[in-house]
A and B are shown apart, each in its own frame.
Chain A
């Protein structure tokens, strides 16, 4: 039988073509970090979405931070992130407190723009644009 137990944490290690994913329902912190262009994109993200659904269902009025620090994502991943943000926005519309921190490298205006594009698509989901100048882009 499928148990009622809710997973506290989801941790997926990064690979050459997929990001590190760490979702934590105790800290209410969802982090996706790295690159995303896996060939088996549905396999990679299926557990992410099933975890997320469970999590959003049991979520009450805690503040949730979603940290997106993506160096590169392909168009398939773009669709995945679109789905991801749509689910978050739907929850926001139901009164949940979720905001996204879109973290981009200093000088990487493309990344900033990608984030701004998502903000435009999901207006009721709050995006904070955070410049990460820890590692500079080589020029």
Chain B
């Protein structure tokens, strides 16, 4: 198992994938089975950037429950900032896999090809593409869709041949003042921690792609000015929904938020480790019901 892991890592380094491709590296790795996933869960998504990391302060937990997961992580970097997204598709097996592929390619088309970096707009476009594509045939029995969270972090990031220059450059410091994060979501919250306070931005209560989804719905952009020491967390519902404890209840939003808040000052690698430990301890003998994705990053 160890040997296989190394091969994939090296392959990843060799071909210098863009962050958006990291998801596919993970996907390819799924054929190696769950043990492999467990080993890799601690891998940070910026691993492929060699010494120049996109987000030095970050972690990435991505644990599909089955071979084909419904959670997607997407990131893409541009001259005016970067877009990051977490999507949680419903549906299992083949329909679920189909949804994730569709969501991923739609997102790439909107963000990369069309150059749309506005989170609320991205969601609206995603809603349109997904809904019109999967419901072309009204005979479809099942009604699948997705929850999604999108953020755009603005800033003068210099991009040369892929990797970003590190955040610590002197030039970057001036740009820090104007940096902000814009967040919009379809039923997926964002949590950020600043000066020991945890804030939840709930996002809109409108899912994407379902037959009932409203194509005219305008999602809401929430803007937070970035300050040093802030930590941001995007996540699917898998973590907070984990059943466990003494009575087999959900871990719950409050507990999850408190966990994030308590550890927010620690290095992100450590935060990731503590989150995974807490999840495992809470779960005990209960099975994992869902994919778990948590992304943390700070400035």
Contacts and interface: CB of A to CB of B under 8 A. Distances in A.
B28 interface: no
Interface in B116-145: 141-143, 145
Interface in B213-247: 237, 240-241, 243, 245-247
A37 B290 CA distance: 9
Contact of B240 (A17, A76, A110, A135): A110
B250 A42 contact: no
Contacts of B280: none
B205 A117 contact: yes
Nearest to B145: A79
B289 A17 contact: yes
Contact of A137 (B90, B141, B249): B249
A110 B90 contact: no
Contacts of A109: 252-254
B196 to A, nearest CB: 21
Contacts of A110: 240, 250, 252-254
B249 A74 contact: no
A75 interface: yes
Given A37-B289, A110-B253, A75 B90 contact: yes
Given A37-B289, A76-B90, A71 B141 contact: no
Given A72-B243, A76-B91, A105 B147 contact: no
A16 interface: yes
B92 A39 contact: yes
B192 interface: no
Decide if the interface of chain B is mainly helix, strand, loop or mixed.
loop
A108 interface: yes
A16 B287 contact: yes
A138 interface: yes
B88 A75 contact: yes
A72 B246 contact: no
A72 B283 CA distance: 14
B248 interface: yes
Contact of A79 (B143, B205, B249): B143
B210 interface: yes
Contacts of B207: 75
Contact of A71 (B90, B143, B210, B250): B250
Interface string B144-160: 01010000000000000
A138 B247 contact: yes
Interface in A71-128: 71-72, 74-76, 79, 82, 105, 108-111, 117, 120
Contact of A138 (B88, B243, B245): B245
Given A74-B289, A76-B91, A138 B143 contact: no
Contacts of A39: 92-93
Nearest to B252: A110
Contact of B237 (A75, A117, A136): A75
B79 to A, nearest CB: 35
Interface in A50-89: 71-72, 74-76, 79, 82
Interface string A31-45: 000010101001000
Nearest to A117: B205
Contacts of A17: 289
A37 B248 CA distance: 14
Given A108-B249, A137-B247, A79 B90 contact: yes
Interface of B: 88, 90-93, 141-143, 145, 147, 205, 207, 210, 212, 237, 240-241, 243, 245-250, 252-254, 287, 289-290
Lowest 9 A-B CB distances belong to which pairs?
A: A138-B246, A76-B90, A138-B245, A75-B90, A37-B289, A110-B253, A72-B250, A110-B252, A39-B92
Given A74-B289, A75-B147, 8 more contacts: A37-B289, A72-B243, A75-B88, A75-B90, A76-B92, A120-B205, A137-B245, A138-B245
